[in-house]
Structure 1
Amino acid sequence: MRWSSDEAVSAADLQALREGVILHGRQQAQGSDARDIACAVHDEDGTLLAGACGRTEFERLYIDYLWVHPDRRGEGLGGDTLRRLEAQALRRGCRDALAETLLDDAAAIYEHLGYACIAHVHDFVPGFTRHTLLKVWRARD
């Protein structure tokens, strides 16, 4: 056997580890229907103005990233982007949506858009609280 640590662990090995853990978890849960989901908006020049991405799985939308170009923040573009992503998830049969953020302002925006904070960890990263938020469209049994 040959051990490696830190920077000596290749990017391919790191990716294989991630994929192995995810695959194992999905095999335990059975019935995974994971699919990537995304939406984006560009200006007439093709510059990305906002976007969101994540996955749908087990009748849930998992939001990984929601981003708005700094010059366009405060215009409602983030909320519009999120609503479009949610509409896609609803068409896929999702019952709820889960988001996490380290930013208090972002958590407040999610709450304004109908999400409820179900957990938070203070000082998750020094000076930042990790917020876990859930929006329920149809209750689970």
Structure 2
Amino acid sequence: MTASTRTVSREWRREGAVSQADLDAIRDGVITHGRQQTQGSDARDIAVALYEGDALIAGGFGRTEFQRLYVSYLWVDADHRGQGLGGDCLRQLEALALQRGCVDALIETLLDEVAELYEHLGYACISHVHDFVPGFTRHTLLKVWQARD
């Protein structure tokens, strides 16, 4: 049998049989393919973190791309919530994004009260999916600093 006629077996792997490296490769493949469909991708990670001594008490990260801030995660330690640190953290990310030339910002949450906080900070709800997961609505919010062409 020659190399051109040899059959390679295929096998579906499920759940725990798919390695973390393969999950990362799938994610990276989707992102790479999507970016190949566009022109001018300038994706860069963006992050801020607040420490009290050596302890991390708040932070957020995401990316900037195509003049937009995409906030992936915004977190405040449970013992420090209710002090405005989440809003401070978001404003820090926004300031960095503005320095990079972003014209708007996109953020999502499953919590109604957090969506209201984002609206208070100048974001507008552009979509919501009720019962995205049982008992929770997925809110997508956008803050525009400068209109796009």
Distance 1:76 1:19 in 2: 35
Aligned length: 140
- Give 1:18's aligned residue: 27
SS at match of 2:86: helix
Distance 2:35 2:61 in 1: 20
Higher radius of gyration, 1 or 2: 2
Tell me the percent identity.
Answer: 71
Are 1:38 and 2:38 counterparts? Answer: no
Structure 1 stretches of at least 4 aligned residues deviating more than 3 Å after TM superposition: none
Are 1:136 and 2:144 counterparts? Answer: yes
Are 1:115 and 2:126 counterparts? Answer: no
Unaligned runs of 5+ in 2: 1-9
SS at match of 1:16: helix
SS at match of 2:137: strand
* Structure 2 residue identity aligned to 1:109: L
Counterparts of 1:1-141 in structure 2, within 5 Å, are 1-44=10-53, 46-141=54-149
TM-score (norm 2): 0.92
* Structure 2 residue identity aligned to 1:40: A
Distance 2:133 2:99 in 1: 36
Question: Deviations 1:44-79 (Å, cap 9, x if unpaired)?
Answer: 2x1111101000000000000011111111111111
Unaligned runs of 5+ in 1: none
* Structure 1 residue identity aligned to 2:52: D
Distance 1:119 1:104 in 2: 13
TM-score (norm 1): 0.97
Deviation at 1:3, TM superposition (A): 2.3
Distance 1:3 1:51 in 2: 39
Distance 1:140 1:49 in 2: 35
SS at match of 2:61: strand
Distance 2:13 2:58 in 1: 39
